[in-house]
Amino acid sequence: MEWIRQIGRAILVVLLQVLLFNHLQIGGWGFPMVYVLILMNLPVQIPRWAEMLIGVAVGLIFDVWNSSLGVHMAACIAFSFLRPMLLGNVLQDLERVKGEICFACIGRIEYTKCLVFLTLIHHLMVFALESWSWSNWWMVLVQTLISSILTILIILGYEIFR
Amino acid sequence: MRNLLQFLTRYSNFLIFLILEVVAFILICTSHDYQQSAVWSGSNRIVAGVNTIQTTIREYFQLRATNETLAQENATLKAELMLLTNQIEVIEERKDSYIYSHLDWEYVPAKVIGLSTNKQYNYLTINKGRRDGIEVDMGVIGADGVVGIVSAVGEKYALVVPIIHTKISISSRLQSNNQIGGTSWKGRDYRYVQLTDIARHVEVHQGDTVVTSGLTDVFPGGLIIGTVSETELGLGDNYHQTIVELSTDYKSLKYVQVIGNKNSKMTDKIEQNHGMD
């Protein structure tokens, strides 16, 4: 039953992202990409290759939506590749965590650390690949920063009140 | 051999990661270089379907405002109709080929069902496609002025590149003195674009109207793009740095017309033949 709930939540997150968060924009300075929550909360036990394939699938959905084939995919693959390494680094007793990862079950500081790092990498890749040139690098950085702050605040808000 | 196998098992996750990233980068490169395939873009059926539902809901909440704009449009259209009926009589009297060349444009009305304004490469999706006669490179205009150019066509839907897309430039003309320039977007505020290639000696004033040049087959000449909101000329500059406020408000754009030149194939052919000589 657990996985049905997880898939249901993933679909809800996808819909919220395309129907609501894609349309939020702060004067052209970025928008939250809350869908990284799906990748962030995957169970620890999942094989790494499977995790990366899930990253491909999630990335492709948003690429088709935004007509930006490959951009979100590349960022999501990096997210899924780095997540287990980072979790192993931050948590010494990773084996005791069963099922999906959450704010309360792996520790607040540890969860926030992983989330901030992975979100920054993901958002930086999305905006850098989307602009595909060095000429407006400062804008890429500002967009990354503002969007990351929004994404992290929304995800932490959800995790606290879930 | 054994060493190689050991190496592969040890770094298998990293290799999978590298292979997947390479695939992603190949996808990015190909979709930048070529016309985007309709299957993998906003003109895809599922994406367009969900966007249609969303648009329907939003429309319901905007009924009152839409009603008002429609009534206003009706009034202006009636006024224009009266003027035009007058003009037809004049034209009928002297059948002059120049005037008739302006009547060679076909219009297909369409509805905007998907739209982004917050990216470097913005797109909008319309609910007309190949079966309605839409083709790649047709122009798209709205009630307030030029909107963009069709870039990919599906059976029922089409993808339009708007002026607010950093890779597009539209041949433009200053209405007051007929100077030709290019309108392009630098990627931030969806309400403003830049007009380039207006030489130093030309006078540009705030409030001047910028229209399409009519030099390409995509748009007829004289369609409004926007008005000059700021212009700057540094001491050593050869060209004006002009910022144009777009007349089209992309955020509230709902209905557009796709326009095609009936003679465009003929002109293409002539240009090709010319190029071969």
Q: What is the DSSP string of B102-156?
A: TT-EEEEEEEEEEE--SSSB--EEES--GGGT--TT-EEEESSSEEEEEEEE-SS
Q: Which of B27, B118, B120 sits opposite A69 (nearest CB)?
A: B27
The answer to whether the Cβ–Cβ distance between A130 and B26 falls below 8 Å is no
The answer, for B47 touching chain A at a CB cutoff of 8 Å, is yes
Q: Which mean pLDDT values do the consecutive 10-residue runs of chain A (162 residues) have?
A: 84 89 77 92 89 93 84 95 90 76 84 94 92 82 93 92 81
| Max CA separation in chain B (angstroms) | 92
Query: Residue B200: what are its φ and ψ, rounded to 5°?
Result: -55, -40
Residue A52, min C-alpha distance to chain B (Å): 7
Segments forming the whole domain that contains residue B135: 36-261
The answer, for B171 touching chain A at a CB cutoff of 8 Å, is no
d(CA B169, CA B266): 24
* Angle CA A68–A69–A70, to nearest 5: 110
pTM, whole model, 2 decimals?
A: 0.65
Residue range B234-249: mean pLDDT, rounded: 88
Residue B276 is assigned to a structural domain of this protein: no
Query: Residue B250: what are its φ and ψ, rounded to 5°?
Result: -60, -30
* Angle CA B194–B120–A63, to nearest 5: 160
Residue range B94-117: mean pLDDT, rounded: 70
Residue A4: how many CA atoms within 13 Å on its side-chain side? 1
Q: Give the H/E segment covering residue A74.
A: helix A71-90
Q: Between A and B, how many CB-CB pairs are < 8 A?
A: 91
Residues of chain A with C-beta less than 8 angstroms from the C-beta of B116: 22, 66
Closest CA to A43 of A90, A73, A83, A15: A83
CA dihedral for B245, B246, B247, B248, sign (positive or negative): negative
d(CA A75, CA B124): 24
**Number of structural domains found in chain B:** 1
Beta bridge partners of B259: B107, B139
The answer to whether the Cβ–Cβ distance between B119 and A48 falls below 8 Å is no
d(CA A50, CA A55): 9
Residue B13 is assigned to a structural domain of this protein: no
For residue range B180-211, what is the model confidence (pLDDT) as tens digits?
Answer: 999 999 887 889 999 988 888 888 889 899 99
Amino acid present at B14: F
Give the CATH number, domain containing residue B247: 2.40.10.340
The answer to whether the Cβ–Cβ distance between A67 and B28 falls below 8 Å is no
Given this model, what pLDDT does residue B235 score? 81
Phi-psi region of B245 (alpha: psi -120 to 50; beta: other; left: phi over 0): beta
The answer to whether the Cβ–Cβ distance between A22 and B116 falls below 8 Å is yes
ipTM (interface pTM): 0.88
Residue B167, min C-alpha distance to chain A (Å): 10
Residue B17 is assigned to a structural domain of this protein: no
The answer to whether the Cβ–Cβ distance between B28 and A65 falls below 8 Å is no
The answer to whether the Cβ–Cβ distance between A70 and B36 falls below 8 Å is no
Residue B44, min C-alpha distance to chain A (Å): 8
Q: Which two tokens stand for residue B261?
A: 């030149």
